[in-house]
Amino acid sequence: MLQERKISLSYNFFQIFTSSNLKNYLKTYFASLYPRYSLIEGQHFLYFKDHQHQGNPAMLVAHMDTYFQTPPWEFFFHGRDQTLTSPQGLGADDRAGIIAILEIIKNRLSFPDILFTDLEEVGSIGAQEAAEKLKSIVKVNFIIQLDRQGENEAVFYDCENQVFKKHILAFGYKEAPGTRTDICVLCPKWDVAGVNLSIGYYHPHSTGEYLNLIHLEKNISRIQLILDKIPAKVYSYQPYDYIISSCSDLPSWMTTPYE
């Protein structure tokens, strides 16, 4: 079963705990896809650019760090509701996003650009570095970050491009409020619209966090549909015209963990 394979993959990714170890794994994995992908590596990011897509692709984003300072070593699978937990804190925010991206890559013939960032949980440090270093390189129609709790939520933060919102919400998502994540840095800098989509985790930043594998699988399938229907046009970043931003500049400890 695919869900059984997901469970095995989930254990592996939660136990490859440090960002450094995960970076090395991702570099090795994407090297096997060369020459489709080329790598641009920063101190706190990995950018894999697809060279075989016709026109501008979409970009998928996930972050390699987690909220927790020590790795989980106990895992519990709850078969009745298809959830995964750890008493040490699972770290599905945002290892679930990385798992989803790799599943999407495996199942596709045409690939999106991929950005993995580090230190999102302490102020989107990797995203800030990538925003500057990749500004003249990135050419995408829109950005999807896989870093949102729940099953059906889409968070656009300060991006008020109504055409883009309509396009994303047509896939069954519901607009929800959020605080801050990497696309709050990337989208304004690159003048491209972005959204943060649910990836199946719940109660982030707590030992009660769990990953619903059914919701994870559902969103992997939906994101594949979105990638199959990339419009020819670039969705530009259109900000709200107000003073107080929903992409708050407050430190992470002062914001709620809803990203």
The CA distance from 191 to 5, in Å, is 38
Task: State the pLDDT at residue 224.
Answer: 93
- Model confidence, pTM: 0.91
18 near 5, Cβ under 8 Å?
Answer: no
Residue 156 CB neighbours (<10 A)? 24
* H or E stretch at 210: strand 210-212
Phi, psi of 240 (to 5 degrees): -65, 145
Residue 151 CB neighbours (<10 A)? 18
The CA distance from 62 to 145, in Å, is 6
204 near 212, Cβ under 8 Å?
Answer: no
Domain with residues 2-239, CATH architecture: 3-Layer(aba) Sandwich (3.40)
Percentage helix, strand, coil for the chain under 3-state DSSP, each rounded to 5: 35, 20, 45
The CA distance from 55 to 58, in Å, is 10
66 near 91, Cβ under 8 Å?
Answer: yes
196 near 145, Cβ under 8 Å?
Answer: yes
Boundaries of every domain in the chain: 2-239
Task: State the pLDDT at residue 82.
Answer: 94
Q: Is 139 exposed, middle or buried (0-12, 13-18, 19+ CB in 10 A)?
A: middle
- Per-residue pLDDT of the chain in tens (259 residues, 90 and over written 9): 456 666 666 677 787 767 888 999 999 999 998 888 999 999 999 999 998 877 789 999 999 999 998 888 899 999 999 999 999 999 999 999 999 999 998 877 568 999 999 999 999 999 999 999 999 999 999 999 999 999 999 999 999 999 999 999 999 999 999 999 999 999 999 999 999 999 999 999 999 999 999 999 999 999 999 999 898 889 999 997 755 555 654 444 344 455 7
Task: State the pLDDT at residue 254.
Answer: 40
Task: State the pLDDT at residue 68.
Answer: 92
Task: State the pLDDT at residue 52.
Answer: 81
The CA distance from 240 to 161, in Å, is 9
Please name which of 57, 73, 63, 237 lies closest in space to residue 159, comparing C-alpha atoms.
237
